Amino acid sequence: MRTFFTVVIASFVALAALAIAQPTVPPMPFHDSLRGATPLNEEPKPPLIAPTENKDVIRGLNYAQQPPTIPHKIDNYQLDKNANRCLACHARSRAEESGAVPVAVSHYIDRDGLVSGHLSPRRYFCTQCHVPQADTKLLIGNSFVAVEDIKPAPRNPQRK
């Protein structure tokens, strides 16, 4: 019985010693692809904002139901409860005249699934889903492959 208590006490002493031990700092400096080498207790200097693309070239979509990106600058566009500058060109009544892509029919369907003659309030703020683009370098790697580009594995002729 005495041996049992000795083992228990020795275990508690070992755990207490581990608990009060100082953590070791790895010899390599901290580096994060988003923060750079700035220590965690300091604020990094933000990078300059990249200029927005203004090519008016419609980009392809990567997946079904992806909102198209905005292919032009939207700086100083009023987009609030009082006005939506996007509709000056993209409203279905103005799209032919302006040469812009008209707002999709899905934007006229309300949350009950009913189609109306005016834009649905839940689709009014365009930049909730649609975003302008900037030509910048990737912050992290991307190995995305569209489903159409995935090659099927070769079939094993011996398997039945």
89 is in an annotated binding site: yes
Exposure on the CB side of residue 119, measured as CA atoms within 13 A: 18
- One-letter amino acid for residue 15 of the chain: L
Grouping H, G, I as helix, E, B as strand and the rest as coil, residue 32 is strand
135 is in an annotated binding site: no
86 is in an annotated binding site: yes
| Structural tokens at position 31 | 């580096």
43 is in an annotated binding site: no
31 is in an annotated binding site: no
- One-letter amino acid for residue 30 of the chain: F
Which residues contact residue 100 at a Cβ distance below 8 angstroms, ignoring those fewer than 6 apart?
Answer: 89, 90, 94
Q: Binding-site residues for heme c, please?
A: 72, 86, 89-90, 107, 126, 129-130
Q: Binding-site residues, please?
A: 72, 86, 89-90, 107, 126, 129-130
